[in-house]
Amino acid sequence: MKVLYSEELLKYSEPGHPESPERVRVIKEFLQKKEIGDFISPFPCSEEDLLLAHTEDLIKRVKENNFYDPDTPNIPDIYYYATLSCGSAIKAASLAISGEIAFSLTRPPGHHAGRNTLGGFCYFNNMAVAVKKILKEHGLKVAVLDIDGHHGNGTEEILRD
């Protein structure tokens, strides 16, 4: 299995916030201890990729750190980290299409980010960006299984059609 992972995504945090580097660090350590996965580094997605799922307005607000949401901290360089997370999802999807088993071990999460909204720790919707890119490039049918403990409202909004 290919595991998309970047140490870069451990570099940001908000003290006391539940979405922390530990969330991915402990999973990485478990996989390494069990010798599961071939770890590979992702690259940030392009703005063109983001536009498949998000508005120019949202992209600009995140890029310029010009937003406020009590659950979604305004962290320096969050645009970079969020595009790296989307790039990880895109690469995992691309590997899966080519027959590889792939897992994107990434943060920040994305399933609450809608076309023009962020929230719930989510800046861009990494899953929706990857799905939209697959649909554009390959025309495949795609199913999304969100196993989080609550509703992925942003993913539903973006992929509803």
- The pLDDT value recorded for residue 15 is 87
- The pLDDT value recorded for residue 97 is 96
- The pLDDT value recorded for residue 60 is 99
3-state DSSP of the chain? CEEECCHHHHCCCCCCCCCCCHHHHHHHHHHHHCCCCEEECCCCCCHHHHCCCCCHHHHHHHHCCCCCCCCCCCCCCHHHHHHHHHHHHHHHHHHHHCCCCEEECCCCCCCCCCCCCCECCECCCHHHHHHHHHHHHHCCCCCCCCCCCCCCHHHHHHHCC
- The pLDDT value recorded for residue 149 is 86
For residue 96, what are the domain limits? 2-159
- The pLDDT value recorded for residue 17 is 87
**17 given a catalytic annotation:** no
CATH code at position 145: 3.40.800.20
Q: What's this model's pTM, rounded to 2 decimal places?
A: 0.95
Mean pLDDT of successive 10-residue segments in the chain (161 residues)?
97 90 96 98 99 99 96 95 99 97 97 97 98 95 89 96 77
- The pLDDT value recorded for residue 6 is 98
Catalytic option among 54, 112, 138, 151: 112
Total domains, the chain = 1
